[in-house]
Structure 1
Amino acid sequence: MEDKELNVVDHLDELRKRLIVTVAAFLILFVVGFIYVEDIYKWFVRDLDVKLIVLGPSDIIWIYFMIATVIAVAGTIPVLATEIWLFVKPALKPIEKKVTLSYIPALFILFLVGLAFGYFVIFPTIMNFVIELGGDMVATNFTAEKYFRFIFNMTIPFGVLFELPVVLMFLTSLGIINPYQLQKIRKYAYFILIIIGVVVSPPDIMSDTLVAVPLLFLYEISVNLSKIVYKRKLKKGKQWEEEFYTEDQEEDLEKSE
């Protein structure tokens, strides 16, 4: 009983160390992002025909904190993934260690791809649609807070959700889930993804569709990739069992001789 309690304490202590490293990385990257906020801001507004306005000092503070936070989150993802891998590493088989380690750079790359997809594909499409919808009825002026909130709503969800394939592949590698379970909950997953698409997009059918459809497509990609990982896992497990069985047979023969 005491051994089990000590083991739990050791795991909690290890988890605390991993969390400290992750939080420290986030804070360092947040400071770096805060230092370069002005340059990042100018890059985002480079193609705007109008100058953004602010309605109060709090808007300026909000912009600084949000831009720095996004930079910190993006940079912390590989750190967090590495710390999670190091935490579960002792419980993994040698093959699982190699496979799961390869998912760490994939998480970071897919997050950036998701941000790029949201910013270069979804954001301009919806932005142009909304501006053309107003036409000559209203003067086009944007506050900096509203403009950047709109950008973040169109990009951050895609950055997070683009990591879905790697996360599901990782969980499949660990044996926590399998593709057949993902197929069973498909309708529930679709419902949740559609809700996410509706929440993050402006309140019109076109915007909802443009956001929701890629998310559903992403889920199907995740299921198919999970199938590939699952089949490879079964194949390697079978090979390992055959090798283990052969070694046992050889040992039995040696003993009988």
Structure 2
Amino acid sequence: MSEDQQQIDTEKEMNLVGHLSELRNRLIVTAVFFIVFFIAGFIYVKDIYWFFVNDIDLELTAISPTEIIWIYFSMAGLVAIIGTIPVLAYEIWAFIKPGLTPHERKASLSYIPALFLLFILGLAFGYFIFIHLIMPFLLSLNDGMFNIMFTVDRYFKFLLRVTFPFALLFELPIIAMFLTSLGILTPDFMVKNRKYAYFVLIVVGVLITPPDFILQIVVAVPLIILYEISIQLSKIVYRKKLKKHEEFMQDES
């Protein structure tokens, strides 16, 4: 092996080590923020708990000390996840920034606030569906037959199971725009695979709602609308990307 080839291999190895070191540091920063938000959530867990409980006309029961511990950790974890999302998004953006053009850097950085807001909107939408549609439907099935008792553990696990998928799915428009700006995704691909996307979204709607056809439609329709919005936003980004490319080629010629 020649000295030039050895030097090239050494530089590649050093670059790889440098990237891994940078990635580790950014993950550490994200973990530190997660811990800070977790501690904040732990401190205010009572206020968070009563915020959720005030919306239901039910008395929750804890049947073991571990359920009390679980509610503290789950509420603190919820705060930590929500608070860490913009931090994680920024660290990912900062990590890939060297490989982006100045225009792509500016455009993709603006996605971070939208990413956070859509996550919050998804949680709020899921919570609205849970409180005003799912819970009333389930309670109506009782029809006076049973004494209803909800444990803290079961209630909040069910609540999180319903709301979190909405929070993640509400990120679809931003993810579609970001991947389109990077050239990974195209609106044509989303259009061609629309039927498969619809199927997945309907399955998600079925999994997070009770076995009632009307409820499943109510949940599935907003998700399908979100996908269509994602397609339109992807088209806008794609057209701008093509326009920039054409301008660049004209300047070069």
TM-score scaled to structure 1, two decimals? 0.90
Q: Among the aligned pairs, what percent are the same residue?
A: 54
Q: Secondary structure at the match of 1:6?
A: helix
Conserved 8 A contact 2:62-2:68: yes
Conserved 8 A contact 1:183-1:223: yes
| Greater shift in the superposed pair: 78-87 or 147-156 | 147-156
Mapping of residues 199-238 of structure 1, within 5 Å: 199-238=207-246
- Counterpart Cα distance in 1 of 2:230 and 2:202: 16
Conserved 8 A contact 1:122-1:211: no
- Counterpart Cα distance in 1 of 2:108 and 2:58: 47
Determine which of 143, 167, 175 is the counterpart of 1:167.
175
| Greater shift in the superposed pair: 49-58 or 100-109 | 49-58
Mapping of residues 186-201 of structure 1, within 5 Å: 186-201=194-209
Where does residue 28 of structure 2 map in the other structure? 20
Q: Secondary structure at the match of 2:58?
A: coil
Change (3 A) 1:104 1:216: same
- Counterpart Cα distance in 2 of 1:121 and 1:169: 27
Conserved 8 A contact 1:52-1:143: yes
Task: Say yes or no: does 1:34 pair with 2:13.
Answer: no
Conserved 8 A contact 1:201-1:208: yes
Determine which of 85, 88, 91 is the counterpart of 1:80.
88
- Counterpart Cα distance in 1 of 2:112 and 2:133: 31
- Counterpart Cα distance in 1 of 2:153 and 2:179: 38
Mapping of residues 29-178 of structure 1, within 5 Å: 29-178=37-186
CA shift, 1:121, in A, is 3.6
Deviations 1:187-224 (A, max 9, x none): 22222222222222233333333322222221111111
CA shift, 1:108, in A, is 0.4
Q: Secondary structure at the match of 1:176?
A: coil
CA shift, 1:139, in A, is 2.0
CA shift, 1:6, in A, is 1.7
Q: How many residues align?
A: 245
Where does residue 254 of structure 1 map in the other structure? none
- Counterpart Cα distance in 2 of 1:176 and 1:123: 38
- Counterpart Cα distance in 1 of 2:10 and 2:130: 56
Conserved 8 A contact 1:123-1:155: no
Which amino acid in 2 is paired with 1:177?
Answer: L
Conserved 8 A contact 1:169-1:225: yes
> Which runs of 4 or more aligned residues in structure 1 lie more than 4 Å from their structure 2 counterparts after TM superposition?
none
- Counterpart Cα distance in 2 of 1:31 and 1:125: 33
CA shift, 1:32, in A, is 0.8
- Counterpart Cα distance in 1 of 2:111 and 2:142: 44
| Greater shift in the superposed pair: 178-187 or 109-118 | 178-187
Where does residue 4 of structure 2 map in the other structure? none
- Counterpart Cα distance in 2 of 1:220 and 1:165: 9
Which amino acid in 1 is paired with 2:72?
Answer: Y
Task: Say yes or no: does 1:185 pair with 2:204.
Answer: no
CA RMSD of aligned residues (A): 1.5
Deviations 1:207-252 (A, max 9, x none): 333322222221111111111110111112211222233xxxxxxx
- Counterpart Cα distance in 2 of 1:84 and 1:202: 37
Conserved 8 A contact 2:56-2:131: no
- Counterpart Cα distance in 1 of 2:75 and 2:191: 37
Where does residue 250 of structure 1 map in the other structure? none
